[in-house]
Amino acid sequence: MQQGLKSELTKQIIIDEAFKQFYEQGFKTTSIDKIMKASKLTKGAFYHHYSSKKDLGLEVISLKVKKRVVEGMVLPLLQTGDALTILQSTFIERLKAFNIYEKQHGCPMNNFINEIGDFETAYQLALKQIINSWKSALVAIIERGKKEQTIKVNVSSQAVAIYLISAFEGIRGIRKLYDDDLVLDDYILGLSDYINQLKA
């Protein structure tokens, strides 16, 4: 195997294992030693790619966490079709797509925000960038709905976007406390009612 390819593969193994450990155990309690032991790599391999756990954490946020949010919650909003229907289906279909593991551990981004959102400026900026991208996509589809006259023109697109993000992230955290999906079912009913109130 070429050295460059081997190096990239090693880096990907570290990132994947770090994401898994941060997601399951939390960022602060996960040590570099624990990540390297689980990945069956040496500490030398880690320091070849990263100078600190902080650098690795930022890479995990930018490469793994951001990708999840973009693929699951941003790209679906860019579809053509009825804006209100797309808005509702994006949130509901995403919730229904989560497996039991993801329901038990919640949202990786929200976990990072709750654990280290006030911990380091670099983390704040990286996490805010993800939220802002999501918010921008929501504002864009709400504005499109207003132009298409499917969404009330007097609603605040910014306020609706932030409310939808906050409610979604909140239910991801609350679901971790339960052994079944009843709380998710109630959330979906409430979400549908709220979105229907936006209808022109």
Low-confidence winner among 2-6, 76-80, 183-187 (lowest mean pLDDT): 2-6
Q: Average model confidence (pLDDT) for the chain?
A: 94
pLDDT tens for 73-101 read 999 999 999 999 999 999 999 999 999 99
**Which tokens belong to 101?**
């593991």
What is the structure's pLDDT at 28?
Answer: 93
User: DSSP 3-state assignment of 28?
Assistant: coil
- Which one is predicted more confidently, 44 or 143? 143
H-type helices in the chain, by residue range? 3-25, 32-39, 43-49, 53-60, 66-69, 83-97, 100-105, 108-116, 121-147, 157-175, 182-197
Angle of helix 182-197 versus helix 157-175 axis, rounded to 10: 170
Tell me the CATH architecture of domain 53-198. Orthogonal Bundle (1.10)
Query: Which fold does the domain 1-50 belong to in CATH?
Result: Arc Repressor Mutant, subunit A (1.10.10)
Residue-range domain boundaries for the chain: 1-50, 53-198
- Outline where DSSP puts E strands in 30-72: none
What is the CB neighbour count within 10 angstroms for residue 151? 24
Confidence of residue 2 (pLDDT cuts 50, 70, 90): low
- The predicted pLDDT at position 117 comes to 83
DSSP string, 164-197: HHHHHHHHHHHHTT-SSSHHHHHHHHHHHHHHHH
- 131-166: pLDDT as tens digits: 999 999 999 999 999 999 999 999 999 999 999 999
Single-letter residue type at 79 = Q
Task: Identify any residues that bridge with 151 across adjacent strands, giving them in sequence order.
Answer: 199
What pLDDT does 23 receive?
A: 97
State the Cα–Cα distance between residues 199 and 12, nearest whole angstrom.
Answer: 45
Measured CA to CA in angstroms, residue 10 lies from 41, 175, 177 at distances of 8, 34, 35
- How much is the pLDDT for 8? 85
pTM, entire model: 0.92
